Amino acid sequence: MQANFAEALGLDPDLTLETLREQSRGKCFGLDNYTLDIKGVRGLLARINREDNDEHHWFENIMMFLGSKPSEKWTDADRDEADYKLAQLSRRLTDLFKLAAEERRFGEQADGDFDVYLLKSLKKGGDFIDEIVTVDKNREEHAKA
């Protein structure tokens, strides 16, 4: 599960638990500002960023969130469900990583207020299309006109 968790965040699956905690907290810092999903990805982010002195306690808290009970009481079905939930949350985290990166990139180039949107579309017989759009005040006024 530790390797799966690392891969879900785009990190090296062979990291030590201490390094995994450090890098996942750094990578996920501030992402909770991009979502309102309290029971899903925001709940995972809260556990990743949780202040805890012990790495094992920190990771067990994440596993308990994914499996809905302590990992030592998991059955094979619980493990499968935790893997599935992690995969689902990983897709949503990837979207948040994209939004945060685009906001930083656009923020370096532009002054003032702007919003960043991730648009997803699917056409019958086609692939998924993800497009990030940044709308500043000029574009917003132009769109209104």
d(CA 8, CA 111): 34
- pTM for the predicted model, two decimal places: 0.77
**Rounded mean pLDDT, 129-142:** 81
Supply the mean pLDDT for the chain.
89
Enumerate long-range contacts of 15-23, CB under 8 Å, 24 or more apart. Answer: 17/55, 17/56, 17/59, 18/55, 20/55, 20/59, 21/55, 21/58, 21/59
Give one DSSP letter per residue of the chain, joined into a string: -HHHHHHHTT--TT--HHHHHHHHHHHHTTGGGG---TTTHHHHHHHHT---S-HHHHHHHHHHHHHSS-GGG--HHHHHHHHHHHHHHHHHHHHHHHHHHHHHHHHHH--S-EEEEEEEEE-TTS-EEEEEEEEEHHHHHHHH-
What does the angle CA 91 – CA 93 – CA 99 come to, to the nearest 5 degrees? Answer: 110
d(CA 35, CA 115): 14
Structure confidence at residue 103 (pLDDT): 83
Per-residue pLDDT tens for 99-110?
A: 888 888 877 776
pLDDT category at 34 given cuts 50, 70, 90 is: confident
Per-residue tokens: 71: 């990992």
Structure confidence at residue 101 (pLDDT): 84
Per-residue pLDDT tens for 66-119?
A: 999 999 999 999 999 999 999 999 999 998 998 888 888 877 776 678 788 878
